[in-house]
Amino acid sequence: MKQISKLIILTLMVSVGLFLSSCGQGGSNGGALKSSAAEKVFVAPGKWDSHYAFISGGFSGQLSVYGLPSGRLFKVIPVFSVDAEKAWGFNEETKPMLMTSHGFIPWDDSHHPDISQTNGELDGRWVFINANNTPRIARISLETFETEEIIEIPNSAGNHSSSFVTENTEYVVAGTRFSIPIPQRDMPISEYKGNFKAALSFIKVDQKTGHMEIDFQVLMPGFDYDLSHPGRGKSHGWFFFSTYNTEEANTLLEVNASQNDKDFIAAINWKKAQEYIKAGKFKTMPAKYTHNLYSDDTHSAVSETKKSVRVLDASKLPGLVYLMPTPKSPHGCDVDPTGEYIVGSGKLSASLTVHSFTKMLKAIEEKNFDGDAYGIPILKFEATLAGTVQQPGLGPLHTEFDNKGYAYTTFFISSEVVKWKLGTWEVVDRKPTYYSVGHLMIPGGNSRKPFGKYLVAMNKITKDRYLPTGPEVCQSAQLYDISGDKMELLLDFPTVGEPHYAAGIPAELVTKRSKKFFKLEDNEHPHAVKSEAETKVVRKGREVHIYMTTIRSHFAPDNIEGIKVGDKVYFHVTNLEQDYDVPHGIAIIGANTSELLIMPGQTETFVWEPKQPGVWPFYCTDFCSALHQEMQGYVRVSPRNSNVKLSWSLDGE
C-alpha cells in the first residue's frame, strides 16, 4: 500500500509538473497578464524608475509625481489647494501663495502640466500648471519639487487652454475657456453674442529665475477656447488654439454649441504680437490680479497685486490671428514634433482633421480666405488641410506623438487609443482603455524630441477595475508600451484626484538637479534662528513670537511659560538639521491649523490662539529619529490677568 501510494504521489507530481507548465504557458499568452508585461513594469526594491510622470490631480488642484514604468506615487506637490500634510496654505509662509484678487482661495482645479523646454526639447527646469476655476498659472521648481510662483490671469474665466510653453520657454500660454465681458461689468447674459470677449495670455518667463510676468493678452471673439499648443521647429513663433461654441451660445451649449459644422483652430503669430507691442499698438487695460512668489532664501512667499495688463485686439491688428475651420467642436489641438502638422480632434467628429503649417502660410500669402469673424480672416478649409484620419474611433480628444512618425489619439466614446501614421493618415493599431480615456501622455510627446517608449492613458471612469471603495471609486491611469509596432497594455495604476493630464520626462534630466536640503547659512527668513543659543520668546502686546529650533531629538526651547489666554502665539520653527531626509514636524493641541513639516535648514511658522488655561503639550509630527517619541514640549497658558512671567527653557536653562 505504501509503495502504491508513493507511485501515485510520484505520478501525481509529474503530472502536476506538466500540468502547471502548460497552465503557465496559457498564462504567458494571456496578453496583459503575461509575464513580460509584469517584468516590464517591475522596478526592483531600491531601484529607480526610468521616467518621472507629473500627473495633474484635476479637481484635487495638485500635481502628483509618479515613477514610470512602475506607476509608484512619490509625492503630491501642493499647488492650488491647501495641503495639511505639508502645511501648504496653513503656515504663514505659504498663505500668500493662495491669494487672488478674490481673496484667499483654498482650492482649484489643476489641469495641464507642461515641462519647460530649451530648443524644443524638455530641459527639466520647471513644470507649469493651470488653475481652471480662478484663473492662475503656477510654476513648480524641479530642484525642490515645490510650487515657487503663482500668477493670476485677469480677463479670463475657466483657464483651460493652458499652460503650454513655447520651445524655449519664452512664454507659458494661458487661454480662457469661457468668454466674459471684458472688462467685467454688470450686463444681461442674453447679450453675450458680440459683446463677450476672450483673452489669450502670453506670460513671459525669465530664463534665469523662471519668474513670470504677463507680457500681453490677445483679445479674441467670444468663443470658447479649449486647448492650445505651440508651434515648434518651422512653426516656432505661432501658437494654436482650438475653439468651440463659435455659435456664441450662452445656454444649453450641449445642443446650441454643436450647431456649426465647423469651429476653428486659431493660429496666433506671437512674433507679430511682439512687433505690435514694440510699435506701441497695445492698449493698457486696468486689471486686478495677484502675483505670488515664494523664495527659497526667505522660505516665504510674497503676494503682490498688479494693476494693469497690455492688450492686443485681434480684430484690429492684421496678421496677428488667422482662423482654420475645423469640424465639430475641436477639443485637442496638438502639434507634431516637426511643427508641420496641427491635429484638431473634433470631439463630435467622425474623423480627425490635420492642418499643414506650410499650407497655412501659403493660404495666408495667397489670401485664400473664406470671409472673416469679427475682422479675423478665416482660411479656406481645403487650403490648410493636410489630411483626415477617417473613422478612427468615436469621440476623439487628444493626440501625442512618438519619435517614429506616429501619432496616438484618444477616443472617449469608443474608449481606446488609436495609433496612426502622420502623412498617410492610416490607422495602424488600436488598444482599448478601461474606461473612457481623456488625455494621454508620451514623455516629450509635445516637444521636438518625444521619448517613444511609454504612453500613459488617463481615464475618466474605472467602475469595476479595482476593489470597490463605495460610490467614489479609484481614479486611474494606464501604462502602455509603445516601443513596438503594436501597443501593449502593461499596467493600471491609481492616481490622486482625476488624472487629468500629465507631463513625463526621462529621470536623468531631473535627478541631478534635485535638492537634498536647504543650507542653514543661506536662510534669510526674518524669524529664523540658526542656533539654540539664539532661541527666544518675545512678547509684543498680545502677540507672542516663539523663535524655536529643532534638531534630533528635541525642540529648543521645550518649556515655555507666561502665555496668556487671548494671546496670538507665533511658532517660528527652524530645522537646524543639515542632513538629507531629516524633516521635523510640530503641532500643538488645539491649534486651528495644520502641522508644520520643516525641511532641514528651513523655517516655518504657525499661529496658535490658546483659549483655555492649562499646560499644553506639543510634539514632533514627523518620525525623525530613534528618540522621536521623546521630541516633545509644554506651553503653560495662564488666565489673562495672571502675572506669570514670560520664560522659556531647555533642560532648565
Partner 1 sequence: MREFVLLLSALLIFACQQGNQQGESGEDLTKNTPKGQASVVDEESEPNILQLAVKTDDLSTLVAAVQAAEIEHVLVNAGPLTVFAPVNEAFKALPPGTLDDLLKPENKQKLAYILTNHAAPGTFKGRLLKDGTTIYMASGEYVPVQRKGDDIFVGGAKILATVDASNGVVHLVDKIILPQKQ
Residue 578 binds partner 1, judged by CB under 8 A? no
Residue 415 binds partner 1, judged by CB under 8 A? yes
Residue 34 binds partner 1, judged by CB under 8 A? yes
Residue 42 binds partner 1, judged by CB under 8 A? no
Q: How far apart are CA 136 and CA 306, in angstroms?
A: 13
Check the CA dihedral 311-316-322-324 and report its sign.
positive
Shortest distance, CB of residue 431 to partner 1, whole angstroms? Answer: 8
Shortest distance, CB of residue 529 to partner 1, whole angstroms? Answer: 56
The stretches of 366-432 forming alpha helices (DSSP H) are 381-384
Here's the x/- map for partner 1, 317-346, by CB under 8 A: it reads as -----------x------------------
Stretch that binds partner 1, among 107-115, 235-243, 348-356, 599-607 (CB under 8 A): 348-356
Stretch that binds partner 1, among 50-58, 439-447, 456-464, 632-640 (CB under 8 A): 456-464
Here's the x/- map for partner 1, 371-410, by CB under 8 A: it reads as --------------------x--xx---------------
Shortest distance, CB of residue 219 to partner 1, whole angstroms? Answer: 31
Shortest distance, CB of residue 310 to partner 1, whole angstroms? Answer: 40
Residue with cell 489641438: 333
Give the residue with the Cβ less far from partner 1, 8 or 589: 8
Q: How far apart are CA 394 and CA 258, in angstroms?
A: 16
* String of DSSP letters for 290-357: EEEEEETTTTEEEEEEEEEEEEEETTTSTTSEEEEEEESSEEEEEE-TTS-EEEEEETT-SEEEEEEH
Here's the x/- map for partner 1, 3-32, by CB under 8 A: it reads as --x--xx--x---x--x--xx--xx-xxxx
Distances (CA, A) of 177 to 243, 450, 515, 601: 9, 28, 36, 42
Give the residue with the Cβ less far from partner 1, 86 or 431: 431
Q: How far apart are CA 145 and CA 555, in angstroms?
A: 27
Residue 262 binds partner 1, judged by CB under 8 A? no
Give the residue with the Cβ less far from partner 1, 328 or 636: 328
Residue 460 binds partner 1, judged by CB under 8 A? yes
Cβ distance 342 to 357 under 8 Å?
yes
Residue 472 binds partner 1, judged by CB under 8 A? no
Give the residue with the Cβ less far from partner 1, 427 or 496: 427
Give the residue with the Cβ less far from partner 1, 35 or 119: 35
Residue 377 cell numbers, joined: 480672416
Give the residue with the Cβ less far from partner 1, 111 or 347: 347
Residue 349 binds partner 1, judged by CB under 8 A? yes
Q: How far apart are CA 444 and CA 447, in angstroms?
A: 5
Ramachandran region, residue 35 (left: φ > 0; alpha: ψ -120 to 50; beta: rest): alpha
Among residues 277, 350, 646, 650, the one that binds partner 1 under rule CB under 8 A = 350
Question: Is residue 425 packed enough to be buried (19+ CB in 10 Å), middle (13-18) or exposed (0-12)?
Answer: middle
Counting residues that bind partner 1 (by CB under 8 A) gives 45
Question: Is residue 465 packed enough to be buried (19+ CB in 10 Å), middle (13-18) or exposed (0-12)?
Answer: middle
Closest CA to 296 of 152, 146, 150: 146
* String of DSSP letters for 86-127: GTBTTSTTTGGGGEETTEE-----B---EEEEETTEEEEEEE
Site for partner 1 in 474-513 (CB under 8 A): 488-489
Contact positions toward partner 1, by CB under 8 A?
5, 8-9, 12, 16, 19, 22-23, 26-27, 29-34, 254-255, 258, 328, 348-351, 391, 394-395, 412-416, 429-432, 434-436, 460-461, 463-464, 488-489
